[in-house]
Structure formats: C-alpha cells, structure tokens
A and B are shown apart, each in its own frame.
Chain A
Amino acid sequence: MKKLAKWRLFSLLALMALILSGCGKPYLSTLQPAGEVAQRQYDLMQLSTIIMVGVIAVVTIIFLIVVFRFKRKDEQIPKQVEGSHKLEIIWTVIPILLLLVLAVPTVIETFRLADVSAMDEVNEDGKTDALVINVRANLYWWEFEYPNEEIVTSQELVVPTDQRVYFNLKASDVKHSFWIPSVGGKMDTNTDNINKFWLKFDSKGAEKANELFYGKCAELCGPSHALMDFKVRAVPSDEFDQWVASMQGIEEPIQPETALAQEGQELFNQSCIGCHAITPNNASPEAARVAPNLTDFGDRAYVAGILENNEENIKKWLADPETLKPGNKMSKTYGELTPEQIDALTAYLMELKVQE
C-alpha cells in the first residue's frame, strides 16, 4: 500500500509540474494560449484544475490515513457506525459551493464566446465591418472564403492579429470540426447548418509560433481524419491587407516564367483545372469548388496541410497522393504521371505566388 500512496503522490506532483511548465508546442498546445478565446479557456482550465487539485488533496489525506491507520491488526470487530448527518451535510454543501465557484464563470464565458452579434451588423454596402471568414470543411481539406473581400483560399488560413475574426462554419460532405488549439476551442462544421464563432489571434503568440499555427480536424471523418490538418498564418493587419490586395489583384491565372513551368501550366489546364481553381474569385458556386484553390500555392508553407512545401514533397504528392493521405478524393482522378510531367507540374505550382 505504501507503493500505492507514493504513486498517487508522484502523479499529483507530475500533474503540478507539467501544468506549471506549460508544456507543448507554442503553435499547437492549448496550454500556450495565443489569443483571447484560448486565454479565457485556459483561465477556466486553471480555475477548475485548482479546485479539483484541492478536492484530490483532501481525499488523498483521508485516504492515506484510512489505509495506514486502519489496517487489520487483530481479530476484533470494529464498532458498526451507521453514518453521520453532520459529515453528510459537510460533504454535500462544500462541493456545491465549489461547483458554484466554477459554474458562474463557466456560464459567463460560454455566453461571451458565443457572442457573434458583430456578424449581423451590416453597413451600407451590405457587408460587415468585422472580418468574416466562411470555413468549408471537405474530406481532408479546408476552404476559406472571405465574403467581404470576395476571395477564396484553401488549406492555409490567413488572418490579421489582434482583432476579432468571425467564422461561419460548415461541412460539404461529412461532419468535421474546426480547431486551432493554441488560439481557441473547436466548433463543429455540420452538414445541416452553419455554425458561427469568433477567435482572436494574439500578435505575441503568433510571434512565438513563428506566425504559423496548426489547425486540426477534431471529428472522425474517415481514413485520413488524422491528416486533415491546415495551417493558420497570423500576420499584422497591414500585412493582411496587403495579402488581400494582392489576392484581389489576381483576376487572370498567374503566368509562369520558366519554360518548364509553362509546360506544367499546359498540363494543369488540360486536367487539374477541372477541380482546382487558380484564381481567388469566389463567384463560382460552392458545388463547383470541389478541390483546394491553388491561387497562392507557392506561398503556402505546407503541401496538403501535412508536408513541408518543397519540390520533393510536391512531387511525392503528385505521384502518389493515396499513400500520403489515404482515401482522399484526388487519388485516381488522373492517370499515371511521367516523371517529366511531374517535374513540369511541380515547377508550375511552385511559381503560383501572389506575394514576393
């Protein structure tokens, strides 16, 4: 039993140590909040953890006394106690009070995090002053539409720091869930309705995360659920405005410069363009946007949300997407590519940049 007690104590200490050290990666961990929502949630976590560690401490003390003091030493029959009203009242009332301490901030925060009234305040142009982004989750990729700015991008969400960003969330095939752990809790993208919530990306937190947060799908959606990652580029608002402007400036597909890339463009236009748009225009209906928009593919940090964006990985992806993301909808939509074709397409894709 001594071992048992030590074990309990050890795990308690480990719990405290881990919480104090705030482990995890700054671009992924909920314990390193990088925005108002995550911060509020982190505060709630801390409050509840403190209360709960207190409860555990009390129980542990009683537990240890019981286990060590009342071990059987002789064959005497102990006194048969029925109970104690006083004690019963104590351990009913104190937990109720503790729960109230947690329940009140919980209710307040639940309402605060659900406040999306800014999304309804429309100005004369029929647009909102607040930044709104429509998130559409698809089998293993994400689309981000900026309705006010009238642009679309995929896989890499670009947002300004230090201001509230509002989201409309939905799924186009099966249910997914939109989650950027270090910036705020998740919300489901349903097939039935549009969910709304907001997040705020902290500039300091973004700095710590190298301006790139990891986003995840948090609802089982099929074989590649684990690989349905996206990235969030959180940049200062002037940089964000620049990005929007340069995206809006793309009315015609970007013209590649090298011969190899031009060859790639031709190939792309013969087949890939059927699914992948290369202009950011959001005029085409959602049903027609069946694959990630690739307008600024060359600017993105990752291929398919999971592989670092470099020549080698693009080639790997083009040659065999099925192995990299099992069950994705791109596999088998095109025939076997020759190494030359892959080289050309890769060169083309790498030149799809809207920013210097």
Chain B
Amino acid sequence: MSTYAQKKGFGATVWDYLTTVDHKKIAVLYLIAGGFFFVVGGLEAMFIRIQLAVPNSDFVSAGLYNQILTMHGTTMIFLAAMPLLFGFMNAIMPLQIGARDVAFPFINALGFWLFFFGGVFLNLSWFLGGAPDAGWTSYASLSLASEGHGIDFYLLGLQISGAGTLMGGINFLVTIINMRAPGMTYMRMPLFTWTTFVASALILFAFPPLTVGIFLLMFDRLFGSNFFVTAAGGNTIIWEHLFWIFGHPEVYILVLPAFGIFSEIIPVFSRKRLFGYSSMVFATVLIGFLGFMVWAHHMFTVGLGPIANAIFAVATMAIAVPTGIKIFNWLFTMWGGSIKFTTPMHYAVAFIPSFLMGGVTGVMLASAAADYQYHDTYFVVAHFHYVIVGGVVFAILAGTTFYWPKMFGTMLNETLGKITFWLFFIGFHLTFFIQHFLGLWGMPRRIFTFLEGQGLETGNFVSTVGAFFMAAATVVLVINIIITTVKNERVGNDPWGDGRTLEWAIPSPPPFYNFKQLPLVRGLDPLWIEKMEGKKGMTPAEPLGDIHMPNASFIPFVISFGLFVAAFGAMYRLDYGWGLPVLIIGLAITFGSMFLRSVKDDHGFHIHKEELIDEDDNKGVKA
C-alpha cells in the first residue's frame, strides 16, 4: 500500500471526495448518491403501492399521490438508474480499455456535481411547497396548469442534472475513442465498454431535445412565453415529441449498459467467451440507431394519423430483432459452458426470462391498433417495469455484487446476496406480473385510487404484497454492505477467479493511476488469453516511466453550486424581490469559477518512476 492510501481524518476524506477528479472516486460518489436516490424513489414506490393496496384508500391524498408518482418516476430514471450506471461506467470502463483515467477528469467531476445538485434541488421541492405533480413526462397542458413551484423544481433540477449527464456522455465517448491501451482495437473492447460507448452516443443526441423542451417549458412558466400555450398559438404536442425524442432513447441509455454488465458476468461465470461477439456489437449499435426512430410509439393515441402510427409501429417491432439476437447469444454463451451460480450470475440468469417478458410485451405494445387499448394503462406500467427493473435494476444489483470487490477491495457476502436476489426476484414478479392484467381489465395508470366493484381489488393487493418483498430485499442488501464494510476482508486482483478482461489484472481497488505500465492487449478477453498461456498478468506495452496525473480541484463543485443557487433565484424571481439578485449571484459564481479555471494554468503532476518502484518494494515488505 502506498502513502496515498494512508489513514486520513474524516474531514480530509470528505475534502478528498469533494475535490477528486479520479474516475474511481467519482464512481463511488455516483454510487452513493444514486443509491440514496434509489432508496428515496423506492420509498415513493412503497407509498404508491400502499395507497393502491385497497380500493378507496386515503393513505395519501389525491394531490400528494400525483407528486409521489411524478417523483418516483423522475427520481428512478434521472437520479437513480442513470447515476448508478454512470457509477459503473466510471469505475470499470477506463480499466477495461487500459486507461489511467477518463479523457477529461475535471469534466467528469463537474458532471457528477451538476447531477448531484440538480437532484438535490429537485428533491428539495418536498420541503418547499410541494413536488412536481404532472408525471415524469410532464405533458405541457398539465404542467402549465400546475400551481405552485413543483414543476419549476422539475424543470430547473433536470436542466442542471441533465447538463451533467451530457458532459458525462461526451467524456466517455472521447475516452473510448482516444484512450484505449495498445492493441485494444474497437473489436476487442469488452461488451460493457461497447454499450457504454453506444449509450454515450445516445446521450449526446437524446439530451439536447430534452434540454430544448425543458427550456421552452421553463420560459413558458417563468418568463411568460407561449410555446405550449394553446390559446396563444402554442402547441402542446410539440412538447410530447421533444420529450419522447429524448425519452425513448433514454430507455436504451439505461438498458444498453445493463446488457453490457450481463455480457461481462455471463462469460466470466460460464468460463466461456461471449458467443457471437461481433453480432452482439452489431446488435448494440443497431438498437442504439433504431432507438431514435421509434419515439412516436409513445404517442399512438395522440392522433398522429394512421400513416405515422403504422410507420412507427413497424419500426418499433424491428427493434425486437437485434434484442432477440442478444438473448440467444447470452443463452449460447452459457451453452456448453461451466456455469457457477454466484450472486451476480443469479441476476444474469434471472434477467434473461424476466427481460424477455418485458421485450415481448414491448412488441405487443408496438402493434398500434392494439396499443389503443394498452396505452396509459397498467399494462404499460407492467411492461416498462419488466424492462427497467427486470433489465436495468437487475443489472445494477448484479453489477454491485460483481464489481464490489474491484471498487472497494472486499467481497459482499454471498449468502446474503442470494437472499437479496430471491426476495427481489419473487417480489418483482409478484408486483408486476399481475399489473399486465390489471391494465387489460381496464385500470388506467397514474390513478390515486380505484373504486370498488371494478374487479381490481385482488390484483392490486397482490401487487402491493410483492412490493414489500422488494423492499425487504433492499434492506438485506444494505445490511450486507454494512457487514462487508465493517469486516473489511481484503481480496486480490481477480476475486471471482475467472476474470477475463483488463480490470481483473490490477489490484482491487486499483491504485489511483490504475496501470503502472499500460498493458499490451492481444485479443478479446486479454487477461483470459494471458491466463491460458500460463502467465499471471498482462504483458506491459511500455517501459516503466513517469505517469502524468491531473490535480484535484474544488472548482467543479463551485460551478455546480452556482447553478444551484441561480435556480432558486430564477424560480422565486416573480415572488420575491431577492429572486433576481440571487439569480445573478448564482450565475456569477458559476461563470466566475469557470473563468478562474480558464486563466489558471493547471498542468497536473507527475508520479516519478522511482516512486512507482519504491511502491513495489514497500508492497514486498508488507506482504
């Protein structure tokens, strides 16, 4: 262990994380913040299910229910699922391509802090007069009619955190294009890196429409414009288009990295290379491309006409083909393999049929004429939870157990992990399977209560019971994390024993510079290749030399904080005199710190060759 990892005081640790530009520490920040919002969103889900357990319930009021459902969706998508996946991308992707950090470490930190302050801002709405209540889709006629500042919190919060996400996406793109280790060609990149790459490209093209839409709605609400005011010649359907041009690719932004995580786990625990690697890559790119061609399937009932509906129906069905390719490739990776059922592998195996269910209902929904029945019912709720929980959340839970040793140097308890899995798996199907039928029986989504005598009682009760299983699973996971952290039993480079890719060739957790010498990549699954040839680790691609590293910086935090302040000013400008000055002060903080960053030369520092050699010696002594 080096001097860099010596025990530090609590304050020093906090300062370290506030100023860090190290992708691994930023990953931890994403994981903590994303995990926190995941719990918040989960609590909101529990309130929803408790309210709907029995007909005519008055557990929460009608208006409050709409706030809860809006915040559940918004939190889970923007503040939980994406940041958690960003956490894994940050932690693992640079290691997988043999890089010492991402291309722009400073921007990486800025992206995190923007997301964090945006998320905090959005959630402060609970304490400042009420949360947004127009659904995560925030359709314009309703969101313009919504009283109070709830929708403003939504707009400003998402605008800030969305900027962070966009930066993150661009950063990953540049990193993957420019920073691959010698020999790491595109067609040797692990699937998780590939999916990160495609998801980042989707972010690059999908977030600007959302940004534009949010700006227009924000101008309407805060500055008196009329983009979506029908009476003044505006058009609310435009909002729906802008939202879904973002919203549909967003689904793939979430689910592609999930595919990536499973594409790493399945080969490792099957001890077999990924079946049909090149067709997997091709399918990923194709899904990403088609993902932009299908947004109007969320709008089949809007009245776009049969031509548009038919085109979008057929385009949507087409996505099933590359997705099907993936399912079969995963199955045939396991076929003939030697499968070890660890906790991550449990999730990966369970993911296949669970996600398949969400996929096939997706094809059913694509059938436009039939969708008129499914649209905005619990059938849709069931469908997207099968995709997002059965796909993305399973992947996040799998990734957490799989990459925990790499990120923190300790193994999560396998028994507790399996208990979490079974509770979550049973709870998931119990909650959402019946919802398909609730929808078909005539239950619209987003209703705060249902009346007796409509045949919806049993189904809703079953669904609520399932939700409690998932809550219990989450509690066990938290206990597991605490126990593991307290025990602190350190593990080696390749704790699962069958690691195939570069991240398993370096210590857990890796030193802050990742690779002392950049590795030479000789094919797909580079570590596996070396192992099969009886070598212990990677062959270096360069002689031991000085390593150039970036300096830590507090500026990303300040830039983001400025926008956080400015958002309050913008929102309260019309209500209070202090609004405008606060808006100006906030922007001044942001632009001032950006200016400071621009004029201050920061060349980073070098780790000298001698220190790296010393470290080796120290290790030898300690071991």
Is A163 positioned at the interface, with any CB of B under 8 Å from its CB? no
Instruction: Output the least CB separation between A59 and chain B (Å).
Output: 6
Whether B372 pairs with A48 at a CB distance below 8 angstroms is no
User: Is A122 located at the chain interface by the 8 A CB criterion?
Assistant: no
Q: Mark A88-99, 1 if CB is under 8 A from B, else 0.
A: 100110011001
Task: Tell which of B331, B332, B367 touches A106, judged by Cβ atoms closer than 8 Å.
Answer: B367
User: Which residue numbers of B lie inside 8 Å of A, CB to CB?
Assistant: 61-63, 65-66, 134-135, 139, 141-142, 145, 230, 235-237, 270-273, 275-279, 301-303, 305-306, 309-310, 313-314, 317-318, 320-321, 324-325, 327-329, 331-332, 334-341, 349-350, 352-353, 356-357, 360-361, 363-364, 366-373, 375-377, 422, 425-426, 429, 433, 437, 440-442, 444-451, 453-455, 532
- Given A52-B363, A191-B236 in contact, is the A59-B331 Cβ separation under 8 Å? yes
Q: Is A204 an interface residue (CB 8 A)?
A: no
Closest residue of chain B to A175, judged by CB? B141
A109 touches B (CB below 8 Å): yes
Chain A residues near B273 (CB-CB < 8 A): 80-82
By the criterion CB–CB under 8 Å, are A225 and B447 in contact? yes
Question: What residues of B have a CB within 8 angstroms of the CB of A306 in the complex?
Answer: 451
Contacts of A193 in B (CB 8 A): 237, 303
Could you list 20 further interchain pairs (A-B, Cβ under 8 angstroms) beyond the known A1-B349, A25-B454, A184-B372?
A24-B441, A28-B442, A40-B369, A62-B335, A73-B338, A82-B275, A84-B332, A99-B317, A106-B314, A110-B306, A113-B306, A169-B303, A174-B142, A175-B236, A187-B303, A190-B303, A192-B235, A214-B454, A219-B376, A226-B62
**Could you list 29 examples of A-B contacts with CB < 8 Å?**
A24-B440, A29-B441, A30-B441, A41-B373, A45-B364, A48-B367, A56-B357, A59-B352, A63-B353, A66-B331, A70-B338, A72-B340, A77-B532, A78-B336, A87-B328, A88-B325, A92-B321, A95-B321, A102-B367, A103-B317, A110-B368, A181-B373, A185-B372, A190-B302, A193-B237, A195-B303, A217-B444, A218-B444, A223-B66
B367 touches A186 (CB 8 A): no
Contact B145 A25 (CB under 8 A): no
- B-contacting 9-mer, from A4-12, A125-133, A241-249, A341-349: A4-12
- Contact at A7–B356, with CB atoms within 8 Å? no
- With a cutoff of 8 Å between Cβ atoms, the chain B residues found around residue A111 in the complex are 306, 310
Which residues of B have CB within 8 Å of A44?
A: 367, 369-370
**With A66-B334, A95-B321 known to touch, is A181 a contact of B442 (CB < 8 Å)?**
yes
For residue B117, give the distance in angstroms from its CB to the closest CB of chain A: 28
Quick check: B369 and A87 within 8 Å, CB to CB?
no
Check if B141 sits within 8 Å of A186, measured CB to CB: no
Closest residue to A109 on the B side, CB-wise? B369
| Interface residue A236 (Cβ < 8 Å from any Cβ of B) | no
Given contacts A59-B327, A186-B376, contact A224 B62 (CB under 8 A): yes
CB distance from A223 to the nearest CB of B (A): 4
- Docked complex: A61-79 residues within 8 A CB-CB of B: 62-63, 65-67, 70-74, 76-79
Nearest CB of B to A114, in Å:
4
Closest Cβ of chain B to A96, distance in Å, is: 6
Q: Which residues of B contact A77 (CB under 8 A)?
A: 271, 338, 532
Known interface pairs A1-B349, A81-B336, A84-B276. Does A218 touch B375 (Cβ–Cβ under 8 Å)?
A: yes
- A179 and chain B: residue at smallest CB distance: B444
Counting from the closest, the 6 A-B pairs by CB-CB distance are A185-B372, A226-B447, A83-B276, A24-B441, A109-B369, A223-B62
Min CB distance, B496 to chain A, in Å?
13
Expressed in whole angstroms, the Cα–Cα distance for A158 and B67 within the complex equals 35
**Residues in A neighbouring B321, C-beta threshold 8 A:** 92, 95-96, 99
CA distance A327 to B455 in the complex (A): 26
B314 and A1: CB pair below 8 A?
Answer: no
Q: How far is the CB of B335 from chain A (nearest CB, A)?
A: 5
Q: In the complex, what's the smallest C-beta–C-beta distance from B510 to chain A, in angstroms?
A: 26
Question: What distance in Å separates the Cβ of B556 from its nearest Cβ neighbour in chain A?
Answer: 37
Interface centre among B235, B303, B329, B446 (most CB of A within 10 A): B303
- Cβ-defined contact, B356 with A223, below 8 A: no
In the complex, chain A residues whose CB is within 8 Å of the CB of B235:
192
With beta carbons under 8 angstroms apart, the residue of B314, B337, B372 that contacts A78 is B337
How distant is the Cα of A196 from the Cα of B66 in the complex, in angstroms? 29
Interface residue? A107 (CB, 8 A): yes
Is the CB–CB distance between A222 and B334 below 8 Å? no
Contact A99 B353 (CB under 8 A): no
Distance of A197 Cα from B235 Cα, bound (Å): 21
Q: What is the distance, in angstroms, from B438's C-beta to the closest C-beta of chain A?
A: 9
A45 contacts B442, C-beta separation under 8 Å? no
Question: Quick one: which of A4, A70, A227 contacts B335, CB cutoff 8 A?
Answer: A70
Contacts of A224 in B (CB 8 A): 62
The reply to whether A171 and B141 form a contact with Cβ atoms under 8 Å apart is yes
| Bound form: Cα–Cα A44–B317 in Å | 14
0/1 string, A187-206, CB within 8 A of B gives 1: 11011110110000000000
Contact between A56 and B230, CB atoms less than 8 A apart: no
Does A259 have its Cβ within 8 Å of any Cβ on chain B? no
Bound Cα distance from A106 to B442, whole angstroms: 22
* A31 neighbours in B (Cβ, 8 Å): 440-441
A152 at the interface (CB under 8 A from B): no
A282 within 8 A of B: no
B436 shortest CB reach to chain A, Å: 8
- A18: CB under 8 A from chain B? yes
| With A70-B339, A177-B376: A190-B448 Cβ-Cβ less than 8 Å | no
Given contacts A29-B441, A41-B370, contact A71 B363 (CB under 8 A): no
What separation, in Å, do the CA atoms of A32 and B512 have in the docked complex? 63
Partner of A175, one of B139, B279, B440: B139
Residues of B within 8 A of A177 (CB): 301, 375-376
CA distance A141 to B237 in the complex (A): 22
A109 neighbours in B (Cβ, 8 Å): 369-370
Find chain A residues with CB under 8 A from B372 CB: 41, 113, 184-187
A226 to B335, CA, bound (A): 49
How far is it, in angstroms, between the C-alpha of A332 and the C-alpha of B171 when the chains are bound?
55
* C-alpha gap A92/B449 in the complex (Å): 44
CB pair A110 B66 closer than 8 Å: no
Q: How far is the CA of A226 from the CA of B372 in the complex (A)?
A: 19
Residues in A neighbouring B313, C-beta threshold 8 A: 103, 106-107, 110
Q: Are B437 and A23 closer than 8 Å at their CB atoms?
A: yes
Q: How far is the CB of A184 from the nearest CB of chain B, in Å?
A: 7
Q: How far is the CB of B298 from chain A (nearest CB, A)?
A: 12
Does residue A147 face the partner (Cβ distance < 8 Å to B)? no
Given known A-B contacts A56-B360, A218-B375, A8 and B66 have beta carbons under 8 A apart? no
B63 touches A326 (CB 8 A): yes
A277 at the interface (CB under 8 A from B): no
Q: Which residues from A are CB-within-8-Å of B442?
A: 24-25, 28-30, 181-182, 214, 216
Residues of chain A within 8 A of B302, CB atoms compared = 188, 190, 195
Q: Known contacts A56-B357, A103-B314, A219-B376: does B429 contact A95 (CB below 8 Å)?
A: no
Determine whether A275 belongs to the interface, using a CB cutoff of 8 Å to chain B. Answer: no
A83 adjacent to B440 (CB under 8 Å): no
CB-CB under 8 A from A30, the residues of chain B are 373, 440-442
Residue of B nearest to A107 (CB): B310
Give Cα A111 to B197, complex, Å: 39
| Interface residue from B306, B371, B429 paired with A7 (Cβ < 8 Å) | B429
In angstroms, Cα B328 to Cα A84, docked, is 11
- Residues of chain A lying within 8 A (CB to CB) of residue B314: 103, 106-107
Residue in A closest to B459 when the chains form the complex, CB atoms: A23
What 0/1 pattern do residues 30 to 64 of A give for CB contact below 8 A with B? 11000000101100110011011001100110110
A221, CB-defined interface residue at 8 Å: yes
Neighbouring A residues of B309 by C-beta, 8 Å: 110, 114
Given A28-B441, A78-B271, A187-B372, does the pair A92, B325 have CB atoms closer than 8 Å? yes
Decide if B338 touches A78 in the complex (CB within 8 Å).
Answer: yes
Q: Is there contact, CB below 8 Å, between B448 and A225?
A: yes
Give the residue of B66, B341, B444 whose beta carbon is less than 8 angstroms from that of A1.
B341
Task: Return chain B residues, CB-CB under 8 Å to A7.
Answer: 425-426, 429
Residue A220 interfacial (CB < 8 Å): yes
Given A18-B437, A99-B363, A109-B369, do A191 and B141 touch, yes or no (CB 8 Å)? yes
